[in-house]
């Protein structure tokens, strides 16, 4: 429930924009002012703004502020609303083939950099920095395929991974507990690339995403059960209260 609070705030900001309170081109109030206005934390405001930027409603300009986008431009850079499962499925398809294409042609320099990133993954504890290392790892393999179109697609998929808050939350809930497993999977991918084996590289990448999909399904199921129990508990408390009154 807490993770979805930002979405309600995002909807309220959109409503204010549509009502003309914040016209296109104007700068939104700062995080602190919006947090006080909606009685939420600044972190929630930040998440709401990231979500609105992802769908093209606002533009965040570093060092300048947050601005309302023109209505006609809203769809230009907007990202589609997808689930973490849909994104992971798409990444598996494209990144597995990118790894297969990269295996025969990826440079020795790129392979050495992948080894450096593996070492960094093993020691980095900050989630945001770990995500950036992971992104560089996968994008290096994508560019190593030598196919600019595939590289562009995978770069866009990574925008979904990093810019859509719900997907970020899902990854954080899963990846926080499987560091050693991911490390081994990434090492297997690099080993296949060093062996110049397209089929092994494809399978190693696919296994990585298949395991991630399974972990996400487990996490989704646990969240659904937890929410069901919460609702049942609330109903129980309410009906017991009614029984006491009677």
In angstroms, what is the C-alpha Rg of the chain? 22
The answer, yes or no, to whether residue 137 has pLDDT greater than 60, is yes
The total number of structural domains in the chain stands at 2
Two structure tokens written together for 110: 């790129």
- The answer as to whether 142 is a domain residue is yes
- The answer as to whether 153 is a domain residue is yes
Asked if 164 and 46 sit in the same domain, the reply is no
What is the extent of the structural domain holding 121? 84-220
The proportion of the chain whose per-residue pLDDT surpasses 90, expressed as a percent, equals 54
- The answer as to whether 232 is a domain residue is no
Residue pair 2/40 in contact by the 8 Å Cβ criterion: no
> Average pLDDT, stretch 86-101?
96
Model pLDDT, residue 124 = 84
- The answer as to whether 246 is a domain residue is no
Model pLDDT, residue 233 = 73
Q: How many CB atoms lie within 10 A of CB 101?
A: 20
Model pLDDT, residue 153 = 95
Q: Which residues contact 121 (CB under 8 A, 6 or more apart)?
A: 130, 133, 134, 137, 182, 183, 186
Work out the burial of residue 149: count CB atoms within 10 Å of its CB; fewer than 13 is exposed, 13-18 middle, 19 or more buried: exposed
Work out the burial of residue 179: count CB atoms within 10 Å of its CB; fewer than 13 is exposed, 13-18 middle, 19 or more buried: middle
Model pLDDT, residue 185 = 96
Model pLDDT, residue 72 = 60
Encode pLDDT of 152-195 as tens digits: 999 999 989 988 878 888 888 786 667 688 899 999 999 999 99
Compute φ and ψ for 66, nearest 5 degrees: -115, 125
Asked if 155 and 179 sit in the same domain, the reply is yes
Residue pair 16/22 in contact by the 8 Å Cβ criterion: yes
The answer, yes or no, to whether residue 1 has pLDDT greater than 50, is no
- The answer as to whether 57 is a domain residue is yes
Asked if 102 and 22 sit in the same domain, the reply is no
Asked if 60 and 100 sit in the same domain, the reply is no
Residue pair 89/206 in contact by the 8 Å Cβ criterion: no
Model pLDDT, residue 4 = 65
Nearest to 145 by CA among 84, 89, 96, 216: 96
Model pLDDT, residue 138 = 98
CATH of the domain at 130: 1.20.120.530
Model pLDDT, residue 79 = 78
Query: Considering the entire predicted model, what is its pTM?
Result: 0.68
CATH of the domain at 6: 1.10.10.10
Two structure tokens written together for 60: 């965040």
- The answer as to whether 241 is a domain residue is no
Model pLDDT, residue 180 = 81
């Amino acid at each position: 429930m807490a993770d979805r609070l930002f979405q309600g705030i995002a909807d309220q900001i959109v409503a204010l924009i549509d009502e003309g309170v914040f016209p296109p081109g104007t700068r939104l109030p700062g995080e602190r002012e919006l947090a006080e206005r909606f009685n939420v934390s600044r972190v929630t405001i930040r998440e709401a703004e990231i979500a609105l930027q992802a769908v093209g409603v606002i533009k965040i300009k570093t060092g300048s502020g947050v601005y309302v986008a023109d209505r006609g431009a809203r769809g230009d850079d907007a990202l589609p609303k997808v689930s973490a499962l849909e994104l992971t499925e798409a990444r598996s398809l494209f990144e597995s083939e990118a790894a297969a294409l990269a295996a025969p042609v990826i440079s020795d320099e790129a392979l050495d950099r992948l080894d450096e990133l593996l070492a960094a993954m093993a020691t980095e504890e900050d989630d945001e920095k770990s995500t950036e290392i992971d992104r560089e790892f996968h994008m290096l393999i994508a560019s190593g395929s030598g196919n600019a179109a595939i590289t562009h697609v995978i770069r866009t998929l990574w925008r979904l991974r990093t810019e859509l808050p719900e997907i970020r939350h899902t990854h954080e809930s899963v990846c926080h507990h499987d560091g050693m497993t991911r490390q081994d999977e990434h090492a297997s991918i690099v080993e296949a690339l060093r062996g110049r084996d397209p089929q092994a590289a494809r399978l190693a990448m696919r296994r990585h995403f298949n395991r991630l999909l399974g972990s996400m399904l487990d996490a989704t199921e646990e969240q659904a059960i937890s929410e069901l129990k919460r609702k049942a508990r609330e109903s129980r408390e309410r009906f017991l209260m009614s029984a006491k009154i009677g």
